[in-house]
Amino acid sequence: MNLTVRDLAVTRGGIAILEGVSFDLSPREALVLRGPNGIGKTTLLRSVAGLQPAEAGTVTGAEDRIAHAGHSDGLKAMLSVTENLRFWASVFGTSDIEPALAAFDLLELRDRMAGTLSAGQKRRLGLARLMVTGRPIWVLDEPTVSLDAASVALFAEAVRAHLARGGSALMATHIDLGLAEARVLDLTPFKAGPRARAMDEAFL
């Protein structure tokens, strides 16, 4: 089943930032969103994930199929690496966390408290969470922040394995992931023109 986005318009803080965004994402496919800071990549991804209502347009095929990874990893400092993952696994109704630990090289860190991990290790744990959700569409916002080159390679490998299993990935990133098969969508042409501010936002 495809993820289909048609004529999506999104606002941030009541100001229209993107309009007329349309794309399709089919299984085994990765789409990379590009664009300068502030163009609305994060807002667009939050709309697709259903965290924020869109101003106009439709998103179909997203219901209960998206695993979203935003700027923060949603980790509890006082839970260990395995406890963090196991929690998310049981929330999403899965139980096997070993492949995720192995894929992101977390086996040696499994009993450490998440609060004692370095920024890059935390990020790897946050990305490992995507694997335990069992959801087919990964929506990733700057997934490689604070990752070193080796970890970026691990991540690209995990994404490739996810695509091979019939999943798909939608990500916003500035760096080259080495995913040759990924399509790139530049958001610059969709920048919303100056227009009257949505009047009812202040009253909602």
Partner 1 sequence: MKALLYRDLILSVRAGGGFGLGLAFFLIVTVLVPFGVGPQTELLARIAPGILWIGALLACLLSLDRILALDWEDGSLDLLATAPLPVESIVTVKALAHWITTGLPLVLAAPVLGVLLSLPLPAYQWVLISLAVGTPALSVIGTFGASLTVGLKRGGLLMSLLVLPLYVPTLIFGAEVARRGAEGLTVQTPLLLLAGISFGVIALLPFASAAVLRINLR
Comparing CB distances to partner 1, the nearer of 38 and 53 is 53
Q: Which is nearer to partner 1, 6 or 12 (CB)?
A: 12
Cβ nearer to partner 1, comparing 54 with 179: 54
Residues near partner 1 (CB under 8 A) are: 49-53, 64, 66-68, 70-79, 83, 86-88, 90-93, 129, 133, 204
Q: How far is the CB of 44 from partner 1 (least distance, A)?
A: 14
The CB-of-110 to partner 1 minimum distance in angstroms stands at 17
Question: Closer to partner 1 at the Cβ: 93 or 189?
Answer: 93
DSSP letters, 122-171, are: HHHHHHHHHHHH--SEEEEESTTTT--HHHHHHHHHHHHHHHHTT-EEEE
Q: State in angstroms the smallest separation of the CB of 2 from partner 1.
A: 19
Residue 159 in contact with residue 167, Cβ under 8 Å? no
Return the number of the residue (23 or 87) whose C-beta is nearest partner 1: 87
Q: What is the C-alpha to C-alpha distance for residues 116 and 138, in angstroms, rounded to an integer?
A: 27
For residue 176, the minimal CB distance to partner 1 (Å) is: 26
What are the strands, taking DSSP E only, across the chain? 3-12, 15-25, 30-34, 56-60, 66-69, 137-141, 168-172, 183-186
> Could you tell me which residues come within 8 angstroms of residue 149 by beta carbon, excluding any fewer than 6 positions away?
none
- Closest separation between CB of residue 37 and partner 1, Å? 20
Tell me the β-bridge partners of 9.
Answer: 56
